[in-house]
Amino acid sequence: MNDAYTKAFNLYNDLVVNLFYRAAYTKFSDELDGNLIEFRAGDIEKDQLIHLKCVELEGKIVLARYQAYGCPYFIASSEWLCEQLEGSVSNKINKIKLQDLMDLLAIPIAKKSIILLLEDAMNGIEVQLDNCN
């Protein structure tokens, strides 16, 4: 790894860095079958914004993608959340433990708003999923 990379991310654990750079859940295809569910949470003026897009088919989230603006913890958390959402059935979304995410990524207490924002996004998706079924 180069020195610039090491210096820039020495504040974050390896999981944060890996999720931040992976960005596997950012590309969205419009050519999918199923119900499109979208939810936005946050505020760009407060440096945290997430736009979640999920595709539901027969009670299951077959695709979960995000666009996010924020710090590396927030981007990594959004990536993790989509990984958890994709493949889950609608009645299991509330089983995703965001407190576990805070521990996994070693998110400081001062950044707890990240978890609260992701919780809002998850709840928004869950409500819309319930309306689809």
Give me the tens of pLDDT residue by residue for the chain, a chain 133 residues long: 556 655 555 789 999 999 999 999 998 877 778 899 999 999 888 889 999 999 999 888 999 999 999 999 999 999 999 999 999 887 777 778 888 889 999 999 999 999 999 999 988 888 888 777 6
Reduce the DSSP state of residue 94 to 3 states and report it. helix
Domains of the chain: 12-132 (3.90.1010.10)
Query: What global pTM score does this model have?
Result: 0.86
57: enclosing H helix or E strand: strand 48-57
